[in-house]
Amino acid sequence: MEARMDDQRARTHPRRVLCNVTCRAPQLSWTETVLRWQDGGKTRSGRRSVNAIVTAMAPLPLSIWIRDASRPLPFPLREPGCRLFARARHGLWHGLMAASLKPGDEVLVPAYHHGSEIEALVRAGARCRFYEANETLEPDEAELGRLLERRTRALHLTHFLGFPQDAARWRAWCDERGLLLIEDAAQAWLAERDGRPVGSDGDLAIYCLYKTFGLPDGAALLSRLPLTTRGARRRLAAGSLGLEHAAWLLARSSLLSQIAKRVPREQRYSAARDFALGEPASTPSTATLLALPRVACAEAAAQRRYNYGQLLRVMSALVPSAFRRIPAGASPFVLPIATIEKPEMLRRLRARGIRPLDFWSIPHPALPVDEFPGAAALRASIIGLPVHQELRSSDLQLIVAIFRDEYRAAV
């Protein structure tokens, strides 16, 4: 219902402003868009068109520096138990320290995970007991029951892709068993369920601020437990801020995008580097603290729902069943697409200027991979297409056209 309402409002008010983000209804129908681009993105002269670069993560608009920095910040940033860190893994580690976990205490965690959260748990002394979850990626109560042991201390509940889980249910489940509830909202900042912000029910809740807005870094920990931490020396991160602005410009300039494509590729991916805890006391950079009050607004979730819905209308057959309906209050992170040849599809899309997420291809080494075929299947197939609030109607049309073209070529 919420998705249909958002869709209807955007069609009725095609230039509705959300915290300086403009909702625009597409100027072409999706059928017209596909017909227009069915030649594979070629111009009338027969040459392949040059596209700007569209990233899965939201870039940072240049206009933020003229925005009002005195607006109220979204939940949980004004809550008494909220602390800011450079990365969510740092907040999780500090929360676990506050929970006084003893070496060997067990935490129930999803088999489908990023890896950095598992590393934080391991470094805090916890033993991870993995659960597969059901086809909607919700925990299965019977499976959790089989995993419970005398030393089980907590349930780690992940709000995948900005889709809110039923945290109130799992709060009650944990209370009945004397367990802590950890809400992982790294991808779900701004999401709500039944009018309550995600993270409201957990003893600990973590959020990645830079996954919702184009910030150099930044994460939040909301804790019911008292924290005693001392922050490290703060970085300026002016270079990282410049890169976030550059990503915004690349989405609006084919010329700059062509130049960027000639820049040497970034270093090869390393799971160990990606999962590493780093310095737990790291705080957000000065650049993030300056940009955050100018860019953060709760209304961006509505734009993300709208963009997600537009892509879902034409790609639903390739979206995992758990994500084919947009819940009220969701703040979608990306649109998950199941592909046949994941590395090849990533390569094809990147060559055309679409930068999808290579979603969680490698698990943490603590996971016994063969015991969790469901998680393995997701890792082997899922990529994430952009739905962030900085996308324009032309970007959405381009994503659909290029994806359809490359998907047909890949299969």
User: Number of folded domains in the chain?
Assistant: 2
Contact 48, 42 (CB under 8 A): yes
Q: Report the distance separating Cα 86 and Cα 88, nearest Å.
A: 7
CA 399 remoteness from chain centre? 18
Looking at per-residue confidence, does 65 or 372 come out higher? 372
* CATH code of the domain covering residue 121: 3.40.640.10
pLDDT tens, 97-141? 999 999 999 999 999 999 999 999 999 999 999 999 999 999 999
Pick the closest to residue 284 from 101, 14, 143, 82 (CA basis). Answer: 82
Contact 157, 167 (CB under 8 A): yes
User: Of the residues 199, 223, 247, which one is the last residue of a structural domain?
Assistant: 223
- Quick one: 209 and 345 in the same domain? no
The pTM for the full model equals 0.84
Q: Are strands 106-110 and 152-158 parallel, antiparallel or unpaired?
A: parallel
The length of the chain is 411
Cα-based angle 69, 70, 74 (whole degrees, multiple of 5):
90
Q: Which one-letter DSSP state was computed for residue 378?
A: H
- Quick one: 398 and 258 in the same domain? yes
- Segment holding 219, helix H or strand E: strand 219-223
Which residue bears the tokens 């993300």? 304
- Quick one: 253 and 361 in the same domain? yes
Contact 140, 157 (CB under 8 A): no
- Quick one: 98 and 147 in the same domain? yes
Q: Report the distance separating Cα 153 and Cα 181, nearest Å.
A: 9
Pick the closest to residue 217 from 247, 185, 244 (CA basis). Answer: 244
Q: If DSSP codes are grouped into helix, strand and coil, which group holds residue 118?
A: helix
Domain assignment of residue 90, given as a range = 82-223
* CATH code of the domain covering residue 24: 3.90.1150.10
- Quick one: 259 and 368 in the same domain? yes
pLDDT tens, 331-375? 999 999 999 899 999 999 999 999 999 999 999 999 999 999 999
- In a domain, residue 292? The reply is no
- In a domain, residue 144? The reply is yes
